[in-house]
Copies of this chain bind each other. A is one copy, B any other.
């Protein structure tokens, strides 16, 4: 715990414009912190974000969830592992309930929508740095009205990703070294959980709900 003094931050986003915009807001004295928050590093993909957080151990990590090489809740978990005192604040462009839910569960300290006015972010950051947690109102509402825990098992999620990559049941069976029937079983039970009834519907659903990472290597 730190008592008083300059804060240090790392910003991670795949778009340079966003990084410089955030840097400007953070570093401007009086905007968020009376002394300004010093940005000690910028990451343009998930792996860089994890590496920088590990090296710099910043007070704050401003993180986009849609990034190349690594994205989503996994980055949050990784950063936590290596730098437990870093407050992780996620900015997301996707508002899909699946992704939001995963992020909240992963234990982010702050969660904001890129579409909303960033004043909300700037206003809440000081209290987040002091240990408070804040999830944007729109997300809290969305999670409440739809607590639909369509949770998939590990194998099922794996199937989903491979199906979205364009692999057939037979392909998947070959790649994973298991029977086609087993693949079929996983796919079938997954589709029942999600209440869809064909592979195209499954793909459309997964895309819409953000159950998988579209930035991943599909």
A interface residues with partner B (beta carbon < 8 Å): 14-18, 20-22, 24-25, 44, 91, 93, 114-118, 163-168, 196, 198-205, 207-208, 214, 218
Contact = CB atoms under 8 A, between A and B. Distances in A.
A159 to B, nearest CB: 12
A44 to B, nearest CB: 7
Contact of A44 (B21, B25, B115, B198): B115
B114 A166 contact: no
* Copies of this chain per assembly: 2
A116 B44 CA distance: 10
Contacts of A93: 14-15
Contacts of A202: 166
Given A163-B200, A164-B204, 4 more contacts: A17-B18, A44-B115, A166-B196, A207-B218
A146 B202 CA distance: 31
A15 B16 contact: no
B168 A16 contact: no
Contacts of A114: 14-18
A117 B218 contact: no
Contact of A21 (B17, B198, B204, B205): B17
A166 B205 contact: yes
A168 B207 contact: no
